[in-house]
Structures are given as structure tokens and as C-alpha cells.
Amino acid sequence: MKLGYQLRNVRERLAKSLVEKGVCTTEKQNFLLFDMTVHPLTDNNMKQRLVKRVQDAVLSRWVNDVHRMDKRMLSLLVLSHSSDVLENAYAPLSDEDYEVAMKRTRDLLDLDVEQESLNERTNELMWAVFAAFIK
């Protein structure tokens, strides 16, 4: 129950942090009737490196055991999927690589998070966050 409270304004806090680090900037953009704050990237190379790391994680560096995966990359895969940006990272891949990446991502997302959280080598809080985002 506390998870929903903790995740409030996460987008705004992340955007503020990225602006402070110089990854993004803050601009006002007019969308028909509304002025909205947007955060465009300052350096597109950083985005390309991140996309390449995500692609490598599901293709050349794939590990079948989720508990042996890098926790940061595992978190990035789950959170980027829930943000609907993961398919954009896979778009430049060949058809064969795209299918492999999507199958591995689907296998990852279809895991029983409650069962995985019971494993003795795992972080229960991480799997609780995954459960909230995978739903």
C-alpha cells in the first residue's frame, strides 16, 4: 500500500534529477490549448548508448537465470516496458533479432514475481516494485 505513495511524482523527480545532471533540459511547449513542460535530451549519443546496452542485454549478453542478470539492467527492462518505450529500442534491430528480443522480454515479464521474490538470492523490494509495474 505504501508503494503507491512512494511512487507519487516519480516522473517529475526523475526529470528534475536528469536536468540537474545535464542529460535533459526543461522547456515549455504549446500543445493546442495547454502549455506543458517537456524535457528534451541535450545529447542524443547518451540515448543511443543506452539503447545499445538494452539491445545487448537481451541479445548478446542474455542470461536465462533472472537472478544472475544485472539488477540495474533488469530494472531498466521492466520499467522501460511499463513506460511503452521498449519496442522503440528494439525497432532498429533486424527482424530475427527483434523476435528474439521480444520473446526474451516477454519471458521476463511473464515470470511469477511472487515466486521470484521468495528466492533466497533476491531483493524482495525490487520484485514488489516489478509487480506494481508489470500489472
Span 22-79, pLDDT tens digits: 888 999 988 888 888 888 888 888 889 989 999 999 999 998 888 888 999 999 998 8
pTM: 0.74
- Which amino acid type is present at position 109? L
Residue 61 and residue 102 share a domain: yes
Span 63-102, pLDDT tens digits: 888 888 899 999 999 888 888 888 899 999 999 999 999 9
Residue 120 and residue 79 share a domain: yes
Residue 131 and residue 65 share a domain: yes
- Residue of 128, 117, 108 whose CA lies nearest to 65: 108
Domain span at residue 34?
Answer: 1-42
Residue 48 and residue 38 share a domain: no
Cα 126 to Cα 22: distance, rounded to the nearest angstrom: 27
